[in-house]
Amino acid sequence: MENPDKPVIVQKSSLKIVMEPGTYWWCACGRSKNQPFCDGSHKGTSFIPKKVVIEETQLVSWCMCRHSDKEHICDNKHRELP
């Protein structure tokens, strides 16, 4: 059984998406079926989705390992994971 207080590592690389302006909710737990965005799967865990406001169209490197020191932005921390 998964530990509800540990994030699920979806993949050990970023997910690069060109994002349009708007408000998005990044999945902090890794359990969402709508990666990298929250679908409410964090309920029952200690995780809270991260509100991300995109001001202009841009390429975002979403963290998919949930270990980045930059929250939703990949900082290549996945390279240090076992």
Bin 31: left if φ > 0, else alpha if -120 < ψ < 50, else beta.
Answer: alpha
Residue 24 pLDDT greater than 70, yes or no:
yes
**What does pLDDT average to over the chain?**
96
Pairing outcome for strands 15-19 and 58-62:
antiparallel
Residues 6 or more apart whose CB falls under 8 angstroms from that of 75 comprise 63, 68, 69
**Which pLDDT band holds residue 4 (cuts at 50, 70, 90)?**
confident
pLDDT-above-70 percentage for the chain:
98
Quick one: residue 9, left, alpha or beta (phi over 0 = left, psi -120 to 50 = alpha)? beta
**Whole-model pTM over 0.85:** yes
Provide the domain count of the chain.
1
Q: Does some domain include residue 53?
A: yes
Domain that residue 30 falls in? 15-80
Find the farthest-apart pair of alpha carbons in the chain and give their distance in angstroms, rounded.
41
Q: Is residue 7 part of a domain?
A: no
